[in-house]
Structure 1
Amino acid sequence: MVIVGGGVIGSSVAYFLRAADPTAQVTVIERDPTYARSSSALSAASIRQQFSTPLSVRMSLFGIEFLRSIGERLEVNGERPSIDLHEGGYLFLATAPGEATLRENHALQRKLGADISLFDAAQLQARFPWLNTDDLAAGAFGESGEGWFDGYGLVQALRRKAQALGARYVAAEVVGIERGGRRAQAVRASNGETYACDVVVNAAGAWSRPIASMLGIDLPVHARRRSIFNVSSPAKLERCPLLIDPSGVYFRPEGRTYICGTSPAADNDPDDLPLDEVDHALFDDVIWPTLAHRVPQFEALRVERCWSGYYEYNVLDQNAIIGRHPDLENCIFANGFSGHGLQQGPATGRGVSELILHGHYETLDLSPLDWTRVLEGRPIVEKNVV
């Protein structure tokens, strides 16, 4: 079988396949083995259970279980990887118009076993005294199981373990896929080689749409640039979580500094913007004023560095598309995670491996994320989109 893309999704699939079936012949074709432009390496690298759909919550509950046990799971030759997992929690804030939704989401999350606390404004002020709560009605905070980690380290650990288990990685770009009827027959790569396949997995992230088009499939996943800013400040914020302002602006600690960002307005979010450019106007006009309002100590900020990465953005509903397309018998898609790929990667890798090896899901049923809703135009409504 051939996996197109060796980031967190593709490497997770390769790892779970070889772990479950050491006889499986797995070839991963990755266009950039340095991962210099990989979304996995350039993201804010975080995990949460604060979603509004049960499946997203369950996927991230498995995600945190996987991350906590990564040293044991991904050990190679006695060396245990570390991804510096810091369970500092997410803090979702709500003004009065958003309070009811926050409370509904909290009830669902608690029911599914997530360790989330709900605070009113006074409780928020007591827990986080550096926070401006004047316009807030409530906040939901992950007491455990939420936080941030080394995304690049996770990808490298998955890749190294998959290789140790026997997966073959090829540094090349896919230039064509040969299709015969309802099956993909072979994958052609830029190294001049052709790889016959009984199964093809599209895990190409922000570059998954062109791969799908080689099969004649219109995949509604686009590369949308997101800029991240690393800032320093004299602010001393004790017990600082990853904070999501009602505006959508976020920040979290990064050592002695902070990283922050937000999504651009929908009418200013085109596809395929160059990654070597950063949206400085977004920081000046939106992010900094919002941070200074929410945390008065942030009036004094300095940008230390900044970068951009791609979201593999599902324009239908910003949720992943996982599973076979009905027009193809042996092609599995795992695309469109829209910023959630790192935290949903372990559950996706496990699920896709089950689909390949057994023809169905055996642990967590990912079928609500399959092509049916896409082809029928039925978006999954996720209220906690970041």
Structure 2
Amino acid sequence: MNNQQYDVVFVGGGVMGCAIATNLLLRDPQLNVALVEKDLSYKYSSTVLSDGNSRVQFNVKENIQMSLYALEVLDSFAEDMAVDGEKPEVGFRQQGNLFLTDEAGRTEVAAGLALQQRLGGNVSWLTPSETKAVFPMLNIEAGLFAGTTFGRDDGTMLPQAVLEAYKKKAVSLGAHLLEAEVTAVRHQSNQVTGVQLKNGDVLSAGIVVNSAGGWGTQIAQTCGVELPMEPVMRQVYIIETAVRSQNILPLLLLPSGTYLIHEGHGLFMCGRSFADDPITTTDFSWQRSRFEERLWPELVDFLPSFDSLRVTDGWAGIYAVNTFDGNAILGEWPELRGFYLVNGFSGHGFQQCHAVGRYLAECILGLPPTLDLAIFSPHRILENAPVFENQQKLI
């Protein structure tokens, strides 16, 4: 059995682990950091299987602030993440996000919109007719929605490119990237001491970060920490329609939570979370029939020209759903020193990696936070003080 010594060990080398590691090493280049990823092909990584969307449209102040910071980061991301003169291309496409609301959700949406605008978000309210001018094939005659909020700076990008950029930057700054499986977080006297690997090796460290995504609940259990988090499988579909648009259309979110992302020409990405989505870390199957039976009829109601289409592809990925309040769990677990959590993002983790990377690095180093995200501290779980985003079914 080998024993290697580190200052910080990350359990999970997805976008969160790599973003935090990058921020740590930018602030303290002397740190000895290990990024432990069980599969460097990232075949089942939630980062890679993400739809890559980023939005300002949240109702919790800190979530909005994280999105606004992401826009700042993305503005100079290629230059800041360059390694040996090679700049990453993440394809950030700011086509905007168009969120439809019905009458039942209008009051809550209006409150969220006011907060987004007050914080500097480029978001506005559109009437149904104004919405149709932006998304011409929408059915506004049936009265299916009261209006929309349009986040003009929102958009989509290539999630794997963002992950690879942070990973390469972290490694260039000195992080050790290991392909290995962590079987246990080691601890003694309420203090983390490192991790045990499947091959028997031990990585000793006074700080362990649980950045394992949908597998984070299992990792936490190995050191006696029970997280209110479930790995939920959600399916995504690629559909081809006869619809043609000269421009890339905004992402469209229906009141039910069904979303549609235009990929160009007649191609769209479509998905939705359902209450009966499987809880699993091993099932990555997808079913065409699920789209045909549960999503297609609704799409035709809102977009009559979608009555004829073809499902050309699909996939399934894991959401780390926080069953407590649906928001991130960030920071040191109060009952185990050195055990830091970056878990439970419930579907909006990818877009928050930039702000979370900076914040967790500041927490670990004992620096005052540039953006205080203490509202998402694990303390709230032990104190039964949930932070709910809203009642609307967002991505």
Tell me, yes or no, whether TM beats 0.5.
Answer: yes
Instruction: Report how far residue 90 of structure 1 moved.
Output: 0.7
Q: Select 2:146's aligned residue among 132, 137, 152.
A: 137
Specify every segment of 5 or more residues in structure 1 that has no aligned partner in the other structure, as ranges.
none
* Mapped contact 2:332–2:339 kept (Cα < 8 A): yes
Q: 1:112 aligns to what? A: 119
Q: Could you say if the C-alpha distance between residues 376 and 279 of structure 1 is closer, same or farther in structure 2, counting changes exceeding 3 Å?
A: farther
Look up the equivalent residue of 2:351 and give its one-letter code.
Q
Look up the equivalent residue of 1:57 and give its one-letter code.
I
Distance between the aligned counterparts of 1:287 and 1:83, measured in 2?
29
Q: Could you say if the C-alpha distance between residues 274 and 202 of structure 1 is closer, same or farther in structure 2, counting changes exceeding 3 Å?
A: closer
Structure 1 position 186 matched with structure 2 position 194: yes
* Mapped contact 1:174–1:187 kept (Cα < 8 A): yes
Deviates further, 301-310 or 174-183? 174-183
Q: TM-score, normalised by structure 1?
A: 0.96
Structure 1 position 90 matched with structure 2 position 97: yes
Instruction: Report how far residue 281 of structure 1 moved.
Output: 3.6
Q: Select 2:87's aligned residue among 59, 80, 86.
A: 80
Q: Could you say if the C-alpha distance between residues 348 and 242 of structure 1 is closer, same or farther in structure 2, counting changes exceeding 3 Å?
A: same
Q: Select 2:217's aligned residue among 209, 213, 233.
A: 209
Q: 1:349 aligns to what? A: 357
Distance between the aligned counterparts of 1:23 and 1:363, measured in 2?
22
Distance between the aligned counterparts of 2:210 and 2:139, measured in 1?
45
Instruction: Report how far residue 363 of structure 1 moved.
Output: 0.3
Q: 1:375 aligns to what? A: 382
Distance between the aligned counterparts of 2:168 and 2:32, measured in 1?
16
Q: 2:331 aligns to what? A: 323
Identity of aligned residues (%): 36
Q: 2:77 aligns to what? A: 70
Instruction: Report how far residue 127 of structure 1 moved.
Output: 3.0
Q: Select 2:260's aligned residue among 242, 251, 255.
A: 251
Distance between the aligned counterparts of 1:289 and 1:38, measured in 2?
31
* Mapped contact 2:214–2:281 kept (Cα < 8 A): no
Distance between the aligned counterparts of 1:282 and 1:110, measured in 2?
37
Secondary structure in structure 1 of the residue aligned to 2:67: helix
* Mapped contact 2:95–2:155 kept (Cα < 8 A): yes
Pairing 1:225-304 to 2, within 5 Å after superposition: 225-237=233-245, 238-256=247-265, 257-264=267-274, 266=275, 268-272=276-280, 274-304=282-312
Distance between the aligned counterparts of 2:280 and 2:103, measured in 1?
36
Distance between the aligned counterparts of 1:361 and 1:46, measured in 2?
29
Structure 1 position 20 matched with structure 2 position 27: yes
* Mapped contact 1:74–1:158 kept (Cα < 8 A): yes
Distance between the aligned counterparts of 1:128 and 1:100, measured in 2?
23
Deviates further, 334-343 or 233-242? 233-242
Q: TM-score, normalised by structure 2?
A: 0.94
Secondary structure in structure 2 of the residue aligned to 1:212: helix
Instruction: Report how far residue 177 of structure 1 moved.
Output: 2.0
Distance between the aligned counterparts of 2:33 and 2:283, measured in 1?
31
CA root-mean-square deviation? 1.3
Q: 2:129 aligns to what? A: 122
Distance between the aligned counterparts of 1:73 and 1:191, measured in 2?
36
Distance between the aligned counterparts of 1:365 and 1:18, measured in 2?
20
* Mapped contact 1:102–1:139 kept (Cα < 8 A): no
Look up the equivalent residue of 2:147 and give its one-letter code.
A
Secondary structure in structure 2 of the residue aligned to 1:40: coil
Instruction: Report how far residue 280 of structure 1 moved.
Output: 3.2
Pairing 1:25-40 to 2, within 5 Å after superposition: 25-40=32-47
* Mapped contact 1:74–1:161 kept (Cα < 8 A): yes
Aligned length: 382
Instruction: Report how far residue 4 of structure 1 moved.
Output: 0.7
Q: Which whole-Å deviations, capped at 9, do the CAs of 1:140-187 have from their partners, x for residues lacking one?
A: 00112x100000111111101100010001100001222101111121
Deviates further, 310-319 or 126-135? 126-135
Secondary structure in structure 2 of the residue aligned to 1:166: coil
* Mapped contact 1:351–1:361 kept (Cα < 8 A): no
Q: Which whole-Å deviations, capped at 9, do the CAs of 1:306-349 have from their partners, x for residues lacking one?
A: 00000011111111000111111111100001111110011111
Distance between the aligned counterparts of 1:17 and 1:364, measured in 2?
16
Look up the equivalent residue of 1:98 and give its one-letter code.
G
Look up the equivalent residue of 1:110 and give its one-letter code.
Q
* Mapped contact 1:128–1:239 kept (Cα < 8 A): no
Distance between the aligned counterparts of 1:255 and 1:353, measured in 2?
38
Instruction: Report how far residue 282 of structure 1 moved.
Output: 2.8
Instruction: Report how far residue 254 of structure 1 moved.
Output: 1.9
